[in-house]
Amino acid sequence: MSGKIKGKIQLETYEDIMRGEEDSVFEVELKELHPFKNHPFKVKDDESMKKLVESVKKDKVIDPGLVRPIAGGGYEIISGHRRKHACEMAGFKTMPVRIRILDDDQATIAMIEANLQQRDEILPREKAFAYKMKLETMAHQGRTQDQDEDDETSRQVVEKLVTADLVGKDFGESGRQVQRYIRLTELMDPLLDMVNRKKIKLNPAVEVSYLSIQEQKILLEIINEESATLSLSKAKQLKKLSQKKKYTKESVYAVMVLTTKKERQITISHTMVARYFESDTSDDEIERVIYQLLDEWNKKGER
C-alpha cells in the first residue's frame, strides 16, 4: 500500500479521481499489475469474458485501467481486473493504465464505485463485501476527521454522513437494503454460494445470518441431506429457535422437512362438481366417487 497523503482525507468519487489529474496513459507490463487487496469482485471465465477477450484481440484495451503505485514496486489495480485477465487470455504482455497517487481510503472508494458502476452482473456476495468495505472506509474517514477537528458540530455531520443510506445512494439502494446485503457477510461460504446461485433468496439469507456458524452448519447439513428449501417463514422460525436456545438438529429438521411434508390440502369447488350428482348426494359420497374415478384413471395410465 502507498503511504498516507498528508492532510484531511477527501473521499472522491471514481469519476472525480479519473478527471482530477493529468490524463497520461502508460503501457505497463501485466506482471507489474497486482489485484486490489481483498478485492470483493470475482473475475470469471464466462461468456462476458469471452466477448471481452475477442474485443481486446481486435481493438486492444480501449478504456485504460486505473492503478496506484505499491511500495517496493509494481502497481495495485483499482479498476481493470477483468481487462488485465482479458489481456492475459489474448496473449498480450502489457496493458494501458492511468496511474494515480491515492491513499487507502481513496483507492477503496474508487475500486468499489468503479466495479459497481461498470460490471453488468454483480453477485450478492460481491455486493455484500463491497458495501461492507465502503461503509468501513467511510467510518474510518469519519474517525480521521474527528481527530483533526475537535468540533461537536463537525462530529454530528460526520455521524449523519457515515450511514448505509449514503453508501447505497449512488447505486439506487436504500440504507436498509445495504444493511441486508452486509448481513450476508456473516454467512458461511456454502450458504452464501447458495444465495449467489439463487437457491436461497436474500431475505431468508439475512434471517439465518444471525445464526452462529455451528447453527449454520446444521442448517446446511439438513438442506443437503433432505434437498430442503429455505423460505422466509422457515428462516424466521430458525432464528427464533436460536434466540430461545432450542436450536438442535432435530428442531431444524422439524422446521425444514416435517412442515414441508404436511398433507397437501386441495379445495374443489362444490359448484363445479354438483352438476355430476343428484342434489341429495352427501359430501362423503361425492368424495368417495371422486377417489374411485381417480383410482380408475390412474390404473388406465399404468397399462
Please report how many Cα atoms fall inside a 13 Å half-sphere around the Cα of residue 253, on the Cβ side. Answer: 6
Q: Residue 1: inside a domain, yes or no?
A: yes
How many domains does the chain contain in total?
4
Kindly state the DSSP code that residue 66 receives in the 8-state scheme. Answer: E
Quickly state the pLDDT bin for 280 (edges 50, 70, 90): confident
Do both 128 and 116 map to the same domain?
no
| Confidence tier at 158 by pLDDT (50, 70, 90) | very low
Beta strands in the chain (DSSP E): 26-29, 33-34, 65-69, 75-79, 94-99
Residue 160 and residue 54 share a domain: no
Helix (H, G, I), strand (E, B), or coil: what is residue 201?
coil
Examine residue 157 and state whether it is found in any structural domain, yes or no.
yes
Query: pLDDT class for 78, splitting at 50, 70, 90?
Result: very high
User: Per-residue pLDDT tens for 229-269?
Assistant: 999 999 999 999 999 999 999 999 999 998 765 544 566 67
Query: Is residue 177 domain-resident?
Result: yes
Q: Is the pLDDT of residue 219 over 70?
A: yes
Residue 64: C-alpha distances to residues 49, 78, 96, 300 (Å) = 17, 11, 5, 69
Write the CB contacts of 144 (distance below 8 Å, at least 6 apart in sequence). Answer: 8, 9
CATH code of the domain covering residue 76: 3.90.1530.10
Cell numbers given for 45: 471465465
Whether 191 is covered by a domain: the verdict is: no
Domain end call among 121, 139, 159: 121
Q: 104 and 25, same structural domain?
A: yes
For residue 234, give Cα distances in angstroms to 16, 25, 79, 186, 188: 46, 54, 40, 19, 18
Q: Are 114 and 18 in contact (CB under 8 A)?
A: no
Per-residue pLDDT tens digits for 3-44: 333 333 344 555 555 554 556 899 999 999 999 988 889 898
- Read out DSSP for 250-281? HHHHIIIIITTTSPPP----HHHHHTTS-TT-
User: Do 235 and 274 belong together in one domain?
Assistant: no
Instruction: Examine residue 52 and state whether it is found in any structural domain, yes or no.
Output: yes
Is the same domain home to 116 and 17? Answer: yes
> What confidence score (pLDDT) does residue 161 get?
44
pTM for the whole structure: 0.69
What are the cell numbers at 206? 439475512
Same domain, 70 and 49: yes
Residue 152, H or E segment: helix 152-161
Shared domain for 112 and 12, answered yes or no, is yes
158 and 109 part of one domain? no
- Quickly count: other Cβ atoms within 10 Å of residue 72's Cβ: 5
- 194 part of a folded domain: no
* 115 in any annotated domain: yes
Q: 80 with 131, same domain? A: no
Among residues 121, 152, 177, the one where a domain terminates is 121
CA 270 to chain centre: 48
The residues, any chain, with a CB within 8 Å of residue 158's CB and separated by 6 or more, are 141, 142, 145, 146
Average predicted confidence (pLDDT) for the chain: 83
Say what the pLDDT of residue 261 is: 57
Please say if the pLDDT value at position 159 is more than 70.
no
For position 117, what pLDDT does the model report?
82
Residue 250 is predicted with a pLDDT of 95
The HSE-up count of residue 29 (CA atoms within 13 Å, CB side) is 4
Selected residue with higher pLDDT from 80 and 288 = 80
Full domain range(s) for residue 95: 1-121
Write down the number of H helices and E strands in the chain. 15, 5
pLDDT recorded at residue 9: 33
Residue 68: strand pairing partners: 76
Q: Are residues 3 and 91 in the same domain?
A: yes
160 pLDDT band, cuts 50/70/90, is: very low
pLDDT above 70 covers a percentage of the chain that reads 78
pLDDT tens figures, 105-153: 999 999 998 888 877 788 999 999 999 999 888 877 655 454 444 555 5
How far apart CA 222 and CA 250 sit, in angstroms, is 10
- Which pLDDT belongs to residue 143? 54
Residue 29: strand pairing partners:
94
Of the pLDDT bands very low, low, confident and very high (cuts 50, 70, 90), residue 77 is: very high
Residue 265 lies in a domain: no
